Amino acid sequence: MPENGREILRKAFPYLWPADKPWVKRRVVIALTILFLAKVIAVTTPYFFKAAVDALAGESDSATWLLGIGAVALTIFYGLTRLLNVGFQQLRDAVFAKVGQRALRQLAMETFTHIHRLSLRFHIQRRTGAMSRIMERGVKGVDFLLRFLLFNIGPLIVELAMVAVILWIAFDVWYLFVVVVTVTLYVAFTFKVTEWRVKLRREMNEQDNDANQKAIDSMLNYETVKYFNAEKREIARYDSAMAGYERAALMTSYSLSFLNFGQSLLITTGLVIVMIMAAIGVENGQLTVGDFVMVNAYMLQITTPLNFLGSVYREIRQALVDMGQMFHLLEQPAEIEDRPDAKPLKVSGGTVELDDVHFAYDPARPILKGISVTVPAGQKVAIVGPSGAGKSTIGRLLFRFYEVTGGALKIDGQDVRDVTQDSLHAAIGIVPQDTVLFNDTIRYNIAYGREDATSEEVEAAARAAQIHDFILTLPEGYDTMVGERGLKLSGGEKQRVGIARTLLKDPPILLLDEATSALDTQTEAGIGDALAHAGRGRTVLVIAHRLSTVADADMIVVLEAGLVVERGTHAELLAQGGKYAAMWNSQRAEDAA
C-alpha cells in the first residue's frame, strides 16, 4: 500500500458510510450481515461432505450417529449448504450494488464539477486525454475498492480465522501451524511482489496516457496532418509511444507470471504437507477417511480465496494509485473563487472600466503595464495593436479567467472581484476568433446560449445571425450534426452559429475577440452585418487585428507592449499619423496586393 494509502481510504470512506444518507448505512449493514451468514455456511459445508464420506465408508463417527441420517441425506445437505453460500453471496451483491453505483456517480459528478471550476491556466496546461483516463480509472477505483475491501479482504480474514479454529479443534495444533505459516508466507510474498508490480503498472499507465494523448492530439489536428503530408510522421510518433507501452506491458505480464507461480508453489506446498499429515493419521487409525476429505476441503476452501487475494490485492493497490491521481486532481485549487461576501453583478448600463490594470501570466514577464480604458454604456470601443500587445488578455480578465495583479476592472462601478462569477459570466457574451461547437446538432449549439430557450427563440437568433436560411437548406435542418468541434461547418458558418448562440443569451455586454480575423474578406463582410446587429443596444468591446472591422467604433484604443499608446476615433487616429495610421496603411496595402 502506498504511503498515502490510509489518507486515500479516509477520503473514500464517506462514500461507503455517508453521514447524511441513512439508507446507505442500512444497506451496508444488511450486506455485511448476509456476508457473515454466508461465511458461517461456507465453513460448515466441508463437515457435511466428511460425514457423507464416513457414512459411505461405513466408519463409525459419533457426529454421524448424532445426525442419525444416511449418506444420501448428508449429500443433499452438502449440496444445500453450497447453494445457500452462493445464494447469500449474490444477495449481498444485490443489496450493495446501489451503494457502489451511488458512490461511483457521486464521485464522478464531484470530479467533473471540480474540473469545470479549475482555472483557465490549468486547462491550458492540461492534457485532455490523460485527464479523462485519470478521471475514469479513479472513479472506477473507488467502486472497486469499496466493494472488495468490504466483501473480499475482510471476509477472507474472517473465513481464515474460522477454518483455523476448526482445524485446531478437530485435529491438532500442527495443522494450524502449517496453515498459519503457509498463509503468512503467501501474503508476504504476494505483497512484496505486488509492490514491485505496481511500479511497473504505474509506468505502463504513464505510457498508455502518453500514447492516448498523442492519438487524440493527432486526430484533433487531422487537417494540419493532411496539410503537411505528415501521416507517416504521426504514425511513427504514435508507434514510438506504443512501443514504450509495449515494453512496460510485457514487464507487467512477466511479473504476473512470476507472482502466480510463486503463489501456487507456496499454496501447493502447504496443501501437500497438511494432506500428508492427514493421510498418516488415517493410516494410524486416528482419523477417518471423512476427516482426510474434510482437511482437503478446508485447505481448498482457504486456498481459493488466497489465490483470489493476490488478484484482489493487486487491483486494490492499483485502485489506490488511480484514486490517488484522481484525488490529487480534486485537490488542485480553483485559482479564481468567489469571495465569501460576493454579490450578484447588477448591470444598470453596462459601462466597462479598466482602471490602471496590470497583469502578468508569469511575474517575470508583464503583459499589461497599467491600462486605463473606459467603455461607456451602449458604445462600441475597439482595442487594437500588434500580436503580443495584450489585447486578448483583456478579454480573459473581463471574464475573470485570471485575476488582475494590479489596478481594477469594473462593470458599472463594481469590481469584478467583488461579484459572483455566475452573474459576471451571465452578463457578458462573447464571439471568439474560433467558435468551438459541441459534437451535437445546430439547434443544440445555438440553444446553448440559454438553457430554457424555445425553438422559436432559437430560430429567431439564427435569423438575426443570418444563418437561418442556410440551415433550412440542410437535409436535416436544425437537427444537422456539426461534427467534433464543428468541423462539418465552414469557418463563416461556425461564426454565425456562435453569434446566434450569443444573441440568444442576450447579454448587456458583448465581447468580440478577433471574431473575423480567421475569415476571408467576403465572409468577413457578411459576418460583419451579423455582428453589427448583435451589438445594437449593447456595450461592445472589440478586440481586433483587422482594422477595417473597427473603423465605425466610437473609440479605438491602440495597445503596444502592454501600454496604451493612442486612443480616439478612426478619423482622429488617422489624422495623428501615428501607430494606428501606420497599421491602417500597411493593411490597406496588403489588401490591395
> Which CATH number does the domain housing residue 253 bear?
1.20.1560.10
C-beta of residue 569 within 8 angstroms of C-beta of residue 500: no
If asked whether residues 448 and 306 sit together in one domain, one would say no
Task: Let me know if residue 474 belongs to a domain.
Answer: yes
If asked whether residues 125 and 257 sit together in one domain, one would say yes
Task: Let me know if residue 336 belongs to a domain.
Answer: no
If asked whether residues 319 and 376 sit together in one domain, one would say no
Q: Which range of residues forms the domain containing residue 291?
A: 5-330
C-beta of residue 82 within 8 angstroms of C-beta of residue 122: no
| pLDDT by position in tens, the chain (length 593) | 444 667 777 777 777 777 778 888 888 888 888 888 887 887 777 777 777 777 776 665 545 444 456 667 767 777 787 788 788 878 887 888 888 778 777 877 877 777 767 756 665 555 555 666 677 777 777 777 777 777 777 777 777 788 888 888 878 888 888 888 988 898 889 888 877 887 887 788 888 888 888 888 888 888 788 877 888 888 888 888 888 888 888 988 888 888 888 888 888 898 888 888 888 888 887 888 878 888 888 887 777 777 766 667 767 777 777 777 777 777 777 777 888 898 999 998 889 999 999 998 888 888 898 899 999 998 999 999 887 788 888 888 888 888 898 999 999 999 999 999 889 988 998 888 778 888 889 999 999 888 888 999 999 989 888 889 889 998 889 999 888 767 788 878 888 888 888 888 888 998 888 766 655 666 666 667 777 777 778 898 988 877 888 888 899 999 988 889 999 999 999 999 889 899 888 888 877 66
If asked whether residues 109 and 257 sit together in one domain, one would say yes
If asked whether residues 284 and 366 sit together in one domain, one would say no
If asked whether residues 215 and 305 sit together in one domain, one would say yes
Task: Let me know if residue 335 belongs to a domain.
Answer: no
Rounded to whole angstroms, how far apart are CA atoms 312 and 229? 48
Task: Let me know if residue 344 belongs to a domain.
Answer: no
Give the pLDDT score at 67. Answer: 47
Task: Let me know if residue 427 belongs to a domain.
Answer: yes
Give the pLDDT score at 327. Answer: 78
If asked whether residues 262 and 385 sit together in one domain, one would say no
Strand arrangement of the beta sheet that strand 352-359 belongs to: 368-375, 352-359, 406-411, 414-415
| Number of domains the chain is built from | 2
Give the pLDDT score at 450. Answer: 87
Task: Let me know if residue 347 belongs to a domain.
Answer: no
Q: From 434, 592, 588, 583, select the one nearest 518 (Cα to Cα).
A: 434
If asked whether residues 129 and 65 sit together in one domain, one would say yes
What lies within 8 Å, CB to CB, of 275 at 6+ separation is 292, 295, 296, 299
Task: Let me know if residue 337 belongs to a domain.
Answer: no
If asked whether residues 126 and 255 sit together in one domain, one would say yes
Rounded to whole angstroms, how far apart are CA atoms 258 and 254? 6
Rounded to whole angstroms, how far apart are CA atoms 243 and 238? 9
If asked whether residues 80 and 228 sit together in one domain, one would say yes
Q: What's the CATH number where 367 sits?
A: 3.40.50.300
If asked whether residues 421 and 557 sit together in one domain, one would say yes
For residue 365, the Cα-to-chain-centroid distance in whole angstroms is 33
pTM: 0.62
Give the pLDDT score at 77. Answer: 73
Task: Let me know if residue 298 belongs to a domain.
Answer: yes
Give the pLDDT score at 5. Answer: 64
If asked whether residues 434 and 295 sit together in one domain, one would say no
Q: Is 541 helix (H, G, I), strand (E, B) or coil?
A: strand
